[in-house]
Structure 1
Amino acid sequence: FGQTKNTAEERVKQQDGTSNPEELKLITAKIVPASCTDKKVHKVLETYNNCYNIRKEWYHCNPDDVLRAINEVAYGIPRTHSFTMRPHQQERHDKVIKAFSNGYDEFLIGAIMRFGKTFTSYQIMKTLGSDLTFVVTYKTNDVVQAWREEIENHVDFKDYRFLNVKDCNLDLLQSNKKVVVFVSVPYLLNDAGAKDKSWIYKLKPDLVIVDEQHYGSATPKFREIIEKLNPTKRIDLSGTPYKALMRGSYPDECVYRWDSLPIGMNLFVIDLAKEVAENSERAGFIDEDGFHINKFFAANKNGFIFHRDVESAMIKLIGNNGFEKNKHLFSPFCIREIDDKQSLNHILMRLESVDSAIAMEKMLTDMLPDYKIIRAAGSDSLAIKDADKLQSIISKSNKSITITVGRFETGITIPLWGTVMPLHAGSSPESYTQTAYRASSECKTEKWTKKAFNVVDPDPNRAFEVVYTSRAIMKRKGTSLKQSFEEFFDCANVYAVDGNRFMKLTSDQLINKFETFLSKRDPASEIRSEYGMNNLKLSANAIVALTGINATKAKNISLLMTNNDLPKGKIKKRAASVGLKPEEKKVISDLIEKMKTVCSRIPIVVIASECVDLDSLLVDTNNKTFFKKVTGVTIDDYRDMLDTGALNRDWQDRAITRINNLSEAIKPEVY
């Protein structure tokens, strides 16, 4: 390494072929103060362990050592990073500072992955002069490393010390003047070990940064923790702030949005199981009994329940038969519009359950011998749980497929991922985007430069719904939905099958496809599905609310149904053992239908009360009477069913989100 007043490329070219017979490759170039000369850097570098001069400008060292030496000469501290904020980061920084200067104390930063939210948040912290900053999140291992490394590697934050709340105490905090404390919400909520944590709430942080705001921050427990911390200022960070924007929780002056992708995106919408779905519909299975992608990929300990259908679909999707008719309409390996086939070398695949992930691992291992199949799901010894280990395995593999059911969907970057396959039914714009954009980071190797990433979605209706809904939410004030779509299409292409070819959709075509889907949709079908219910977990109070029987009988029924020591299939014998009469036994078999009746009426409340998700429905105290009148039970009864697990909370939240998506889509003012 050396210095020059010419361009870096010209300087390297002068050396190429003269000082070294191998072709030279430029690693990096930095603009430094005039006082920072190469001779000064050479002297500092030679003081580092295992760094020594070979001849003239040639050194045996690690590139990071050179960066540390440059920054030590230029800025007085041996750290690897000294970059400044990019224009859009500076814009975000300035808007936050202005809002806080104008008296606001909360700000939402909605910026997609790879924006640099961590670095810019620390710059805001530094400008505010915050001595005590808390980074609070429901995520733990996924994100703590990124927050630590930014503080410890950048010259701008040399005065700050990073601490994990799990590893520190009050004395340690008070012995440091400027501190960033990483606070894991699960750690604060976990009572195991009886470790005293009350001292945390005695501090009053100058600034709280809520990372992954979309994940768990609306829960009562999280709100209680923030209130007890009582920060002077608060910044919420999210790559997918859709719910926060839908709720209108922040004034326009306190919101910054950035959803421009660093590289191009290609979304390929295929109908992988069209034949299975059509056969199901012809047989009379519709709505909650109809085709569902989670049912299609459902598995148990023995493998996929519909093994033959899944195997046939996966052969279409990624099998090796390149001569199969219309193969180019299903398999990304054969899709003509994917001209960069190297983007298929490393794939992220999302499934719904661990059993499905294990079954898929076995199937793909047999089907694709040239791919390293990595299962990042489950708690067994074969499952990959550490992000560094995952990164290492992928970097050492020519080709890989990582199978997950949610692990590694936030907080980490795997640059080699070039394609994402969401083989689950998640329709929340937050979770879908978090998964899809895992492959959106830039990547440059000796043999490949990633110019675009691919998302191959086997569920057309879900794909259109998510794109439509996310663009409706991200629509800027004073602009139309079509303009919001055009912003998306500036960096993304959406392809759908049209006859025997892929057609690149325009914004109008995508909107029309979603509206066609809407016209066939029963908004109550998902929320009343018994797949999201478990009558064996109903409490006595819930049984009284659903059936009207007296409390004593309801308690007997509840005890009968929740006794895990009795076989599930012996309901009638168990009923007789506790003295239930025949008409009371019928109550048990009717409970699912009662629950379905209640849930089928919830869309009326959601639409009338303009609820955007489950949390907003539960906290809407103004509509308690209306909820009881429409559904037949109180909001507290409904909450009780969620708390006991009789109603699957995630299922209900997803269904309510979809109902809101549909109701928003048909409002004339959206256009």
Structure 2
Amino acid sequence: MTNDFFPRRPKVTPKIYAYEDTHPQYKGLLKVGYTTKSVQERVAAQYPTLRPGPLPYRIVLEEDAICNDGTTFTDHDVHRMLRINGIKQAGGEWFRCTVEQVKAAINAVRTGQLLEEQRSQDFGLRPEQEAAIQKTMTYFQSYRRENGKPPHFLWNCKMRFGKTFAAYQLAKRMNWRKVLVLTFKPAVQSAWEEDLRTHVDFEGWQFIKPGGPVTWQTADKTKPIVCFGSFQDYLGRNPSTGGIKTKNEWVHATHWDCVIFDEYHYGAWREKAKDLFEDDRERRAAEGEAMDYFDEEILPITSDHYLYLSGTPFRAIASGEFIEEQIYNWTYSDEQRAKAEWDDTKGLNPYAALPRMVLMTYQLPEDIRQVALQGEFNEFDLNVFFSAEGVGDKAKFKYENEVQKWLDLIRGAYLPASLDDLKLGRDRRPPLPFSDVRLLAVLSHTLWFLPSVAACYAMRNLLAKGQNKFYHHYTVIVAAGASAGIGPKALPPVLEAMGNPLKTKTITLTCGKLTTGVTVRPWSGIFMLRNTSSPETYFQAAFRVQSPWTLTNPDGCSPNEELILKPECYVFDFAPDRALRQIADYSTRLNVNEDDPEKKVEEFIRFLPVLAYDGSSMRQIDAAGVLEMAMSGTTATLLARRWESALLVNVDNDTLRRLMANEQAMRALMNIEGFRNLNQDIETIINKSEAVKKAKREANDRELSRKEKRQLTEEEREFKSKRKEIQEKLIKFATRIPIFLYLTDYRERTLRDVITQLEPELFKRVTGITQQDFELLVSLGVFNSALMNDAVYKFKRYEDPSLAYMGINRHEGESVGLYDTVLRPEEYQVIHAVSPS
């Protein structure tokens, strides 16, 4: 991997040109072409023989061949539009037409008026997309229905995987004719529509969307149909009747070949189950907030297959909702490794255009950050720093002076000279986004992720002030609040403001909109200016800037050559400890096939390098440094709380059914105090929850009476209470396990070995069950061993520096055990090595 973190962007502007030959026999004809060189140079090359006198040609038109979304078009698109308009082609690229007719064709192409019949996309599947389709087909075709439940499958694939195109190819191979795409983020509509309407593989397929030209009633049922809509619209209730919305009855009446849930992480795995179809819930989800709860079994639709798509389905995987055979994984590291290791003898690298991400973190000067130091560890709080009040033009930052200093800092106008600066010289100051010439050249279009709507408007107002003349060269777009548009409507204003993105500069301000499921190719950097507690939110937003941006290059060496405009993209973060915790958390949860946290982080940052400015110099951080800084804000109390996490135990119906079916496991648990009535409680949970689901399904067809609703609520409250009771008892049981961390010096043993080999009798006295019974419960999925590994790892990592400080190292040369896996000594030593400056 290259360590050139700031490669130069090629300086090109693709052009459509037209010229006429001055020879009388060519009168009335125009040659229409495309180039990434200068038009004069390109046309001159077509007349290689020098002649005396005036030039034998005259250039009559020169137009930029780029749309405001960063995509380009070529002369072939213009030729096609000319033919559609009835203009005759005289041969090759020559047309009998006027300059005005060529201009009209260019404008039509630029604004997307090419008809669907003129499909121009013919790209194929990348290897990992083919692998996802094959694994999914194999599972679907070999699945045996139990209790009438259809199969469901998860694509845990990073953003930019191409889930829409691959899903359509799966549908084609499975011969599905009726596909329903539901999303919690309506902004993804354009991606689903574009692939279906422009790719040659889907000719004849019909796309139905709310308010679109094709409806279910007018669609040709003999041809494949894809219906797209938001979960909130298609499955929401009529507020006046409580029943299905009349306009969407066909969605519920149709039996679908497959239902695809896109951006699934926004709808699932929330602990508090509330009314899914509340009006307020619909508004919130359309605004980009997460839905609280999702349950496939009570959906008022029927389907033969379910496909779930998400770039961050961590909770679903941790909870055991999908087993290994039901998941296809493709991570950012997988993608960048494939890019680096591509064999050029196999042809053009299909991953070449996918940019590498670089995370740049900055420790702000003390006089800027002191207003927002919060909490036990005095950490810099971005939400406090960028807190704002007011509406629209009157919005203002609470700490406007400090935010102004921050704006000055990122353009290099405010950086107090420290002693180290004086020693090292100005050349060692950090590369700042709008100061370093290498970054300034590529950051023409950036996304700023702020805490609130008020903060977005406050930032717009501050950037417009006189002292910020530097930023006046950028068009500032506020993509926040109701006025910015709901769902997909928020995207067009951003693209329109870009015009020709090779010539313009924009800053898009958001507090949630456009941070998932959309593609804006010109974005090359994102500023993380808000706290996000979950790595899902952080990286869903960060990956917005990883969209490939290329130009067709007819002047290159290869006829299919693409000019890559964005080889690198950047994430800027001004809360370093928070940023590195997100990296550590995300990467350790990303690779489900690796147990060693150090290796997981090392693999991830191999392809997403982390550059950190600590106040004196900027340096690249290794895996050890990431983990060291990520752990810097923890305490023994916080580590202990990891054993109180609800994610450590699974109490969903499928797990409880497996438990009930195993007599040995049931006997073991009922030997523990508090589990005496376990069998009866589990039966109540399963039976009541199934009854409630059945009632909710029936409620999709008719409105329940007040008495029925009250009874449904009481039954739901009862089984949820019992489920939570069992969950709490299992968590209480799990909290007894960490005691074994303190009982042994044998750090080469896993905690599992300590329990099963060194202290088996003590384990039974402490927990009430034998270690064999505990192993059985882990195998049934009642306890999550992967999270236990993580908890043990973090405990030992926290413990060792304390011992070393006292001069104690009783474990030199020994392997280090986690819960059920072991780190070799050299691996663990690397973790504690000091990162080079």
TM-score (norm 1): 0.68
Which has the larger displacement, 426-435 or 339-348?
339-348
Aligned mate of 1:395, from 491, 499, 517 = 499
Q: Given the alignment of the two structures, is residue 137 of structure 1 paired with residue 183 of structure 2, yes or no?
A: yes
**Which residue number in structure 1 is paired with residue 295 of structure 2?**
223
Which of structures 1 and 2 has the bigger CA Rg? 2
Q: 1:167-316 maps to which residues of 2 (within 5 A)?
A: 171-172=217-218, 175-187=221-233, 188-192=235-239, 195-196=245-246, 197-218=248-269, 221=276, 222-223=294-295, 227-258=299-330, 259=332, 260=335, 262-272=354-364, 274-275=366-367, 286-287=375-376, 291-301=380-390, 302-316=395-409
2:172 aligned to 121, 126, 133, which one? 126
Q: CA RMSD in A?
A: 4.5
8 Å CA contact 2:446–2:507 kept in 1: the answer is yes
Contact 2:643–2:791 (Cα < 8 Å) also in 1: no
- Does the 8 Å contact 1:610/1:660 carry over to 2? no
- Provide the residue aligned with 2:629 in structure 1: 513
Secondary structure at the residue paired with 2:321?
coil
Structure 1 Cα separation of the partners of residues 512 and 789 of structure 2: 23
Return closer, same or farther for 1:473/1:360 CA change in 2, 3 Å cut-off: same
User: Secondary structure of the residue that 1:18 maps to in structure 2?
Assistant: coil
Q: Which residue of 1 aligns with 2:53?
A: none
Change (3 A) 1:521 1:428: farther
CA shift digits 1:173-210 (9 cap, x unpaired): 68454211113111132525864134422221111111
1:155 aligns with one of 200, 206, 218: 200
- Could you tell me which amino acid in structure 2 is paired with residue 213 of structure 1? Y
Check conservation: 2:120, 2:198, Cα contact below 8 A. Answer: yes
1:272 CA drift (Å)? 2.7
Gap change, CA 1:606 and 1:46, over 3 Å in 2: closer
Tell me, in whole angstroms, the C-alpha distance in 2 between the residues paired with 1:380 and 1:203: 35
Partner-residue secondary structure (3-state), 1:462: helix
> Are 2:362 and 2:614, in contact at CA under 8 Å, matched by a contact in 1?
no
Q: TM-score, normalised by structure 2?
A: 0.56
**1:173–1:660 distance in 2 versus 1, CA, 3 Å:** farther
Q: Deviations over 1:63-109 (max 9, x none)?
A: 9989x9x999xxxx531222221222212211211221221721111
1:505 positional shift: 1.2
1:349 equivalenced with 2:448 (yes/no): yes
Partners of 1:357 and 1:108 in 2: CA distance: 35
In structure 2, the residue matched to 1:459 is 575
Q: Deviations over 1:520-556 (max 9, x none)?
A: 88579xxxxxxxxxxxxxxxxxxxxxxxxxxxxxxxx
Matches within 5 A, 1:456-535: 456-478=572-594, 480-498=596-614, 500-519=616-635, 522=638
Q: What SS does the aligned partner of 1:392 have? A: helix
Partner letter of residue 542 of structure 2?
A
Say which is worse superposed, 106-115 or 381-390, in terms of deviation. Answer: 381-390
How far apart in 2 are the matches of 1:122 and 1:375?
34
- 2:444·2:504 contact (CA, 8 Å) conserved in 1? yes
Q: CA deviation at 1:169?
A: 6.6
Shift in Å at residue 291 of structure 1?
Answer: 5.0
Alignment correspondent of 2:132: 92
SS of 1:129 mapped into structure 2: coil
Deviation (angstroms), 1:24: 12
1:426 is matched with: 532
Could you list the per-position Cα deviations for residues 340-391 of structure 1 after superposition, in whole angstroms to 9, with x for gaps in the alignment? 4322221110011111111111112222222222111122479995312211
Give 1:375's aligned residue.
478
Spell out, residue by residue over 1:242-284, the C-alpha distance to the aligned partner (whole angstroms, 9 max, x if none). 2222223222222122222521111011123655666776xxx
Cα separation, 2, equivalents of 1:610 and 1:164: 40
Gaps of 5+ in 2: 1-15, 17-34, 48-56, 67-75, 96-101, 145-150, 277-293, 337-353, 554-562, 656-718, 733-786, 796-817, 824-837
1:478 Cα offset (Å):
4.5
Corresponding residue of 2:342 = none
Indicate the residue corresponding to 2:432 in structure 1.
331
Instruction: Tell me the residue number matched to 1:666.
Output: 794
Contact 1:322 1:334 in 2 (8 A): no
Give the conservation status (yes or no) of the 8 Å contact 2:209–2:215: no
Gaps of 5+ in 1: 2-7, 29-39, 525-601, 632-658
Matched residues in 1 for 2:396 and 2:78: separation?
60
CA distance in 2: counterparts of 1:238 and 1:664, whole angstroms? 29
Query: Which of 140, 155, 162 lines up with 1:109 in the alignment?
Result: 155
Secondary structure of residue in 2 paired with 1:268: strand
SS of the equivalent of 2:124 reads: coil
Pick closer, same or farther for the CA change 1:322–1:434 going to 2, 3 Å. Answer: same
Please say if residues 155 and 309 of structure 2, whose CA atoms lie closer than 8 Å, have aligned partners that are also in contact. Answer: yes
Q: Deviations over 1:382-435 (max 9, x none)?
A: 999531221120234622211100111122211111111010001311111111
Partners of 2:135 and 2:64 lie apart in 1 by 36
Q: 1:253 to 1:273 in 2, by over 3 A?
A: farther
Contact 2:363/2:614, CA 8 A, preserved across alignment: no
The one-letter code of the counterpart of 1:450 is K
Q: Tell me, yes or no, if the aligned pair for 1:419 and 1:454 is still in contact at 8 Å.
A: yes
Distance 1:604 1:520, change over 3 A: closer
